[in-house]
Each structure stands twice: as structure tokens, then as C-alpha cells.
Structure 1
Amino acid sequence: MDTGRHVIKGLKAGAVLRLLAQAFTWINTLILIRLLTEDDYGLMAMTMAFIGIFALMGDLGMGKTLIQAESLSPLKLRQAFTLNLISGLTFFCLFYFSAPVIAIFFNEPQVTFLIQVAALQFLILIFHTLPSASASRDMLFKEREKVQFWATLMTSVLTLAMAAAGLGIWSLICGHLFMRLALTIGFNKISPCWAWPTLNFHQLSSLSTFGGITTTNDLLRYFFHIFGNLSIGRLLSKTELGIFSVARNLANLPSDKIGELVNHIGLSSLAKLQNDRGFAGLYLQKSIQLAGLILFPVYFGLCAIAPDFIPLVLTDKWTSVVVPFQILCLSSPFRLLTELLSTGVTAIGKPGLNSRALFYTLMTLPVFIGGIQFGVEGACWAWLGITLFSFACHLRLILPEFKVRTLTILACLFPGFLCSAVMLAGLLWGRSEITQSWSALASMFTIGSAGLLIFISMQVVLFRPFFFKTLLWLRH
């Protein structure tokens, strides 16, 4: 079976399991939001703000390096494990002792102990990287998704039980740690990859150079995404940070799990095609075209039903999340499309281009500070503008490596975007003019059904060949 067919087969099998895991994640998240408060989510955002940056450095980029490498020797595996061991112990000690300083930064004493407990994840990551990379390298997509599914299910049960027992923020902290532990155990079961530490770092440069660049990219990307939490937590309050955090968590829910699956498959498959940029570009183009046809209608539809969905599902105490959620829904498709481009250029061994695009993006972050002056909604509008700029930078810098023109990608995205934009405009008008006196459930069901009908009808009438050709890719 060739790489392309194996990728599609793995994507189909994995997507079914990932969708089931996504369903549990949605249910878990929505119930948790009902049980917890804005302050709980604000504390969680503060806890993970700095520690999350270094969590990305936990393997020093070894995971992606091992996947991307054309061949691996036992010595390279031992070197990678040794680097994981050193970094894991170092980062655990760093955050355990620096937690009081971070608490002072946020002016929130509770954060100290929360960070010290959350730092345990660095000890877990020591044993996670090698088996996870081995599973991706061997393209065990279905097996990976089984691990992800059971880890998600068990974590959901644990966090809900703790939240229902009144443990508040600790349900989020313990759930985060348990998820890390469950994934580590699962990957070690499906693709065991053990190595002893070594003091022999001969010819380490082939690992450290690529790993260093990918780690830098992960840090830049994480800082870009966490900048909002840092700024709002510092300049506003933990309550407003909780509102922003919940809005962003909800906006990311539909794409995060599928995005993880696509990134794992994309990194593994494109790495095998890195010496044939023409085929690699074709795969990237198809992935973006299919993603656009799904992401735009889903997110624009969520934007339309948000005024009914959030009070109905999360109760009226979360109505302040509605408008921020709607704004972030507009940016989420471009966020995931940007991640697809980043994964693609890393897989073909050119992570430096991603670094340049991220650097240019970081230069626009002062716009977010200006948006905060208008509260959480102003911050969300600023975030939308920054996300669009980041997507444009990635297109401009990355596509030439795949021998794909920017106009070609924009043409692939245009049908999904246009039909979704028209659908959103029609649904917002219909809600304001027709469904205001209806119950929230009836309004949400009517708007959702109408949105689906409008989108499919426009695709069939205006872009019939494009629409059916894209859908046929799922059959191969």
C-alpha cells in the first residue's frame, strides 16, 4: 500500500475514534463549565501560562526530530532519551522553586501550590516522547487514536467526579496530569521504545539542530497563543481572564482534537515525501481544501447559534462569554489552517521558515494590548486581526517550498469561506428578525438546520464540481 492510501486509511480509522473522543471532550467541557466558575478557569489559565511554555520544551523538540529523521540508530534513541531526562528534571525543579515568583506576577497567592503540583507533568514527559514518536513514525494512526480515546474517556470521568465533589480548580489540575499519564502509558503499550541514558553525544548535531529549531517554533507559537492570558491576567482580573479562557476553550473545541490527528498524520506522511516536493505540495493543498470546506461552515454556524447555545447549555451565568466566543469563532478556522502549514513545512525539514512567520506575527502582539483597553471583546477583535495576519505570513513564506502558489490555496478556500459567510449573514438576520420570540432550543435547532441547508445548497449551485470532488477524497 503506498503512502497516500495508507495516510487516507489511517485518517479515516483515526477520525472515527477521534470524533468519539471529541464528543466526550465536548460533553465533559460543557458540564465542567457549568460546575466551575470564572475564577476557577482564571486560576487554571494563570497556572498554565508560564508552565505551558516550558512543557513544550520538555522533550527539546526530540519528538518531531525522531519522526522527521529518515533513519534512527540505537545511539540516537539513547541520546534523545538522555536529553528528555535532563530537561524533565530541570524544568520540574525550575517551576517547583519559581512558583512563588509567578504568583507574585499575577498577584494571586493560590497559584504557587497549583504550579508546584502541575510541574509533575515534566517527570511524566520523560517517558512519553520516544514511544509517541515511534507510534507516529510507524504510522500507527488507528492505534494512537485508541489510546487517545481511552485516555480522554478516563480523564473526563475523573475531572467530572472531582468537580461534582466540589474540588473546583483541582479537578482541572488533576485532570491535566492524569491525561498526560494515561497517554504515556498507552503509547508505551502500543509502541514500546526504551533506551538507557548515555554520556556519548557524538554526532548529536543532527538531532539537536532540527530539534532546537522546532522547539523554538513551539515556544514562539505557544507564546503567541498564551500572550492573551498573560496580558488579561496582568492588566484586568482573574474573572475577566476566566471569561476569555472559557470563550477560547469553547472556540477551539471543534478543531483541537481533529487538528491533533491531522498534525500527527501530516508530520508522518509529509516527512516520507520530503524528497518529492511536488507530491508533498499536492497533499498539503488537498488537506487545506478539505479543512476549509469543513472548518468555515462549522465555526460560522457556531457563531450564529452562540446567543442561544451558551445560555441554554452553560446557564445564564455565562452570557458574558457569548460575544467573545462569536468573535473567536471567526478566527479559529484560520488558526487551524496556519497550523497545517506549520506542520507541513516542519515535516519537509524547513522549520526555519515557520520561525520567520512566527517572528513576524509576534511583532503584531502590541495590537492586542490596545484591544484590552476595550475589555475582553476588544481583545478578541484584536486577536482576530492578529490571526489573519499570521495566516497571511505563513502562506507567503511556506508555500514556495511546496511549489504551490498563494492564489491556488486562496482559490481552494474561497468556496467554503464565501458560502459560510453568506450563511452566517443570513442566520444572524433570521435570528434578529424571526426567532427572537422563540425558545432557545427551538431557535438553535432552526438556525442550525437552516445554516446546513443554505451552505449545501450554495455549494451545489455555485461550486458543484469543487464540492463533490473534495468530498470524493474521503472515499479513497
Structure 2
Amino acid sequence: MVCEPSSRRAAGDRLSKAYDPLSTEHLQQDLTRRSLRGGLIAFGSQAVRFTAQFGGTILLARLLTPHAFGLVAMIAALSVLLDLLKELGLSAATIQRQEITQQQVSTLFWINACFGCLLALGLLLAAPAIAGFYGEPELTSITRWLALGFVVSGLTIQHWALLRRQMRFTAIAVIETGAELIALAIAVACATQGAGYWALVAQRVAGPTLTLVATWLLCPWRPGLPARDAEIAAMLRFGGSFTGYNLLAVATRSLDQVLIGWLWGPIVLGFYERAAKLVLVPLNNLNAPLYAVAMPALSRLERQPERYRHAFLLVFEKFAMVTMPPAALAAVTSDWVVGLLFGPQWQAAAPFVASFSTAAITLPAMLAVALLYLSQNRSGDLLRAGLVDTAAVVAAILAGLSFGAVGIAIAYAIAGLTLRLPLAIWIGGSQGPVNRRDLAAALLPSLATAGAVAGSVAALRHAGWLVASGPLTGLALSFAAAAPLAFAIFLAIPRSRRILGILRRLPQMLRHGPAPSSLGTAGE
């Protein structure tokens, strides 16, 4: 009998772990470089998706009417809420878990699948009532077709969570990008053939179906029979708190669209929804890779407080630097943005774009703070933060309601700057390795830069020094004025200057791994 050398046996063990869809031990050895490379892959694919989504938003707006978008938006507000119920936060529970078994994931899979089917059935039965609520008969058939998406996506949740848990960012990028592009192509093809709102319905059904097929092909895990497990209850509690937080966030975000559609009809809602989409598409395309990369990486660092703090603050500050100043610029050039991208027939959407862009200055930071709760298993704090944030948003919507749809959008923006962001920092930094002072210090440079950008461009326009013959020229001149100012402010502030230095060293870090102190510079 020949004994296998221990080194070869250890290498074989590591190899088998690497191909085990439930194990994450092999990730610990190279977590930082894997996260950096995963971030590049995620942001690269997100750039492609952003181009597709942004281009699709513009193209479909020129092919379809505000009425078509308003009809689909009426049911989409409810669909997003039901989608969260189907998910139950169990993908986050799978990703956050340090160790997980085949029985546990199988049980979670069947829970998600059953909930997806139940919600689809409920939506099918409720379709006539929804159409009656809005007074739009077309919503009956739209609702029934969109219900199919819940059955399909319920079968995808745990496979998707395992891909993210394993940090398989290339597979995730292929699935997301491919499904996005094909679904958009289907929508554009239908729209050019005069399908009207059915083009948007086809896009929403095709996306989840394509994702299901690709996810099952690229994730080798297959579910077994459900079984009783003592840990399932804990995972359901975590998922329940996460779902409660998301339900509160989405319910408050959907409340405005429900009220606008009910009170002022699909045309006003079409302007409102397209404006929100125009602003939120870029943010979502940055937020998605942030969660895809940072969530599993930070969860693995939960038991190493200093490494966790340094890694989070580095991500947090970089995210704020690349999102806050552009949002501020869009807020003061909204008329040019709408004119260039949607055309003159959509100018009624300009006040909405200005308000949503103002709110967008704070949204990325609030989303990043939510990572603290998820990666630290602080599900109770997550739900409490959601309740506080919900109260602020509902109060803003009710305050703006008497001033029409534009009043709602303006009140939403004001609440973000004065209430929601300060409360998120206060609650998010109340415990754990990252405190309130860390969050505020990391955020202030980007917040100050955003204010300077908005103030300077608005002042130039008011003084008549920034006059353009068309929207493209106006945006180009505004960017030419804002970009050097933002860069100069970041260079003048020591901590943001260090972040720029880290970005310059990124290629070397990807090749050789980061220096021991490179993750600490953001928070020191």
C-alpha cells in the first residue's frame, strides 16, 4: 500500500473544496484579491448592462408612449413587493452563513419555490380587482402574464445565492448580461412591430426565464428533499428581518407610484416612472456589483473587526466619490438631460429628474450602510432602520401630495438629505467595527464635492454664463465646469486623496495582491 504524500492530499482536499458549491473555505486564502478581481468583473459586466438598460430606456421611450409605461408601472409597483415576499430574504441568509449544508439549502429552495407559486396564483386571481382599482381594463391581462415571472424566479433564488456565496463573478456576469440583452432585444423588436405595452410585458417575462435556464446550467448544485433542521429557523428569522426591511423600503418607494397612478392616471405616472428609471438605472448598476462583491467578502471578515472596518470604509468612500457628484450635476441640468435622452415630448419629466437626482445624492450611501447590517448579521437593526426610514418617506409623500406629482418628488428629495441619510448613519454606526464617526468622515468629502458641483453649475446657469444652443452642448459645458472642480476638491482633502492613490495602484494590486496596509488607508 502506497501512502499519498500529505502535501498532495492537502492540495486534493483544497481542489475538492473549490468545486463544492456549499464550501467557502478556499475563499479565505485570497479573499482580497478575489474581491478586487470580482469587483472588476462585476463592474465590467455592469457597464455593459448599464449601456443596455440606459440605451433601452431611451430607445423604448422614443418607441412607446407615456401611457404604455404608466400601465406597466401600475402593476410593477405591486410586483416588486410580491417579489420580495417570494424571496423571503433567504438568498441573503445563504450568502451570510459561515457554513451551510445540502439539507438546509434544499429546504430553503423548496420554501422559495412554493412561495413563488402561491404568489403567482394570488396575482392571477387578483388581476380583475387590480384593474378595477386603477380603472384600466388592460391591466387584467398584463397582471396575469406578469404573474408567470414569480413561478420562474422562485426556482432561481438559491442557485443564484450559491453563485454569489462562491464569489463566481464571471458566471454571474454572463447570466445577468446575457439575460438583460436578450430581454431588451425582445422588447425593442416587439415595440417596433407596434406591440405597445406588450413589449414591456414581454421584457419582464423573458428576463427571469432566461436567468432561470442559465443559472441552472452554470450552478452545479441540485436540490434534494426538504428536511427538518434546527438552523433553518435561525435562517428564516434572518431572512424575515431582511425581507421586512426590503418590504418597507419598496412599499414606501411604490406608494408614490400607486397614488400617482390612482389620482392622476397613467400618463402622469409614465413621466414620473421614466424619470425615476433614468436616475435609478445608473445607481442600480453600481449598487448591484457592490452587493455582489462586498456582501460575501465582508461576511467572511465578520470575525476580523479591523480588516472588516478597513475593507468596508474603502468600499464606502469609493462608492460615494463616484456617485454623489454626478447625481448633483444631473439635478441642476435635468432639462438638458431629458431633452437629449428622451426628446422634447418628454420635457414634463424634467422636474421629476431634478428631484430624483437630488435624492440620488444620498441613496448610494444609504444602500452601502445597509451592508453593515447584512454582513454583521444585525437583522434586528436592519428592520428598525427600515421602520424609521419608512416613516420619513411616508411623511414626505403625504406632505407633497397636495402639490401634485412634482410636489411628491420634491418632498422625497428633501427628506433624503435632511432625514434619511443622517438617520441611516446614526443607526448603522451604533455598533460593530464601523462607528458613526467613521461613516460621517468617509462621506463628508463626497457630500461637500456634490454640493460644490451643484452650486457652481446652478450659479453659472443663473448668471447666464452657461448658455447652450442644445442639450448636448449644455451638458458638455456643465461637465467641463464640474469635473475639474470635483477633482480639485478630492485632491485637496487628504482621505479622498488617499482613495485616488489606491485607485491608481489597483492594477498592481490585482497582479501581486495588496500591500498589508493598503486596505487600512481609507479609515485611518
Which structure is larger by alpha-carbon Rg, 1 or 2? 2
1:418 to 444, 448, 455: 448
* Mean CA deviation greater in 396-405 or 322-331: 396-405
2:306 to 266, 278, 281: 278
Q: Is the 8 A contact 1:81 1:196 kept in 2?
A: no
* Mean CA deviation greater in 132-141 or 340-349: 340-349
Deviation of 1:200 (Å) = 4.2
Pair 127,192 (structure 1): closer, same or farther in 2 beyond 3 Å: farther
1:378 aligns with 2:407: yes
1:138 to 166, 171, 192: 166
1:226 aligns with 2:254: yes
1:404 aligns with 2:437: no
The one-letter code of the counterpart of 1:382 is: A
Deviation of 1:375 (Å) = 1.6
Name the residue aligned to 2:472.
Answer: 441
Deviation of 1:284 (Å) = 2.0
* Residues 101-112 of structure 1: pairs in structure 2 closer than 5 A: 101-112=129-140
Q: Residues 317-350 of structure 1, C-alpha deviation per residue, up to 9 Å, x if partnerless?
A: 1101112101110111311221111133112111
C-alpha distance in 2 between matches for 1:219 and 1:378: 24
Deviation of 1:204 (Å) = 2.8
Q: Residues 56-107 of structure 1, C-alpha deviation per residue, up to 9 Å, x if partnerless?
A: 1113222111111111112112211221221111111110001111222222
Pair 440,333 (structure 1): closer, same or farther in 2 beyond 3 Å: closer
Tell me the SS of whatever aligns to 1:237: helix
Tell me the SS of whatever aligns to 2:226: coil
C-alpha distance in 2 between matches for 1:20 and 1:441: 22
Deviation of 1:111 (Å) = 1.3
**TM-score (norm. length: structure 2):** 0.86
The one-letter code of the counterpart of 1:349 is: N
Q: Is the 8 A contact 1:58 1:91 kept in 2?
A: yes
The one-letter code of the counterpart of 1:397 is: I
Deviation of 1:393 (Å) = 2.1
Name the residue aligned to 1:195.
Answer: 223
Q: Percent identity?
A: 18
C-alpha distance in 1 between matches for 2:198 and 2:431: 46
1:92 to 103, 115, 120: 120
2:187 to 159, 164, 168: 159
2:289 to 261, 282, 292: 261
* Mean CA deviation greater in 382-391 or 255-264: 382-391
* Mean CA deviation greater in 294-303 or 432-441: 432-441
The one-letter code of the counterpart of 2:447 is: F
Give ranges in structure 1 of 5+ residues lacking alignment. none
The one-letter code of the counterpart of 2:364 is: L
Deviation of 1:201 (Å) = 5.6
C-alpha distance in 2 between matches for 1:123 and 1:33: 29
1:369 to 390, 398, 422: 398
1:471 aligns with 2:500: yes
Deviation of 1:202 (Å) = 5.7
Tell me the SS of whatever aligns to 1:402: coil
C-alpha distance in 1 between matches for 2:333 and 2:220: 45
* Residues 5-44 of structure 1: pairs in structure 2 closer than 5 A: 5-44=33-72
1:456 to 476, 480, 487: 487
2:424 to 394, 398, 401: 394
Deviation of 1:281 (Å) = 2.6
The one-letter code of the counterpart of 1:116 is: R
C-alpha distance in 2 between matches for 1:109 and 1:156: 26
The one-letter code of the counterpart of 1:367 is: A
**What's the RMSD between the two structures over aligned residues?**
1.8
Name the residue aligned to 2:521.
Answer: none
C-alpha distance in 1 between matches for 2:331 and 2:396: 23
Deviation of 1:435 (Å) = 3.7
Tell me the SS of whatever aligns to 1:303: helix
C-alpha distance in 2 between matches for 1:306 and 1:376: 17
Deviation of 1:356 (Å) = 0.4
Tell me the SS of whatever aligns to 1:401: coil
2:323 to 295, 315, 332: 295
1:238 aligns with 2:266: yes
Pair 405,124 (structure 1): closer, same or farther in 2 beyond 3 Å: same
Deviation of 1:234 (Å) = 2.2
Name the residue aligned to 2:352.
Answer: 324
Q: Is the 8 A contact 1:159 1:171 kept in 2?
A: yes
Size of the aligned set, in residue pairs, is 474
The one-letter code of the counterpart of 1:440 is: P
Q: Is the 8 A contact 2:428 2:436 kept in 1?
A: no
Pair 78,403 (structure 1): closer, same or farther in 2 beyond 3 Å: closer
Name the residue aligned to 1:68.
Answer: 96
C-alpha distance in 1 between matches for 2:294 and 2:250: 20
* Residues 301-312 of structure 1: pairs in structure 2 closer than 5 A: 301-312=329-340
Q: Is the 8 A contact 1:231 1:369 kept in 2?
A: no
C-alpha distance in 1 between matches for 2:48 and 2:77: 29
Name the residue aligned to 2:20.
Answer: none
Deviation of 1:407 (Å) = 2.9
Give ranges in structure 2 of 5+ residues lacking alignment. 1-28, 510-524
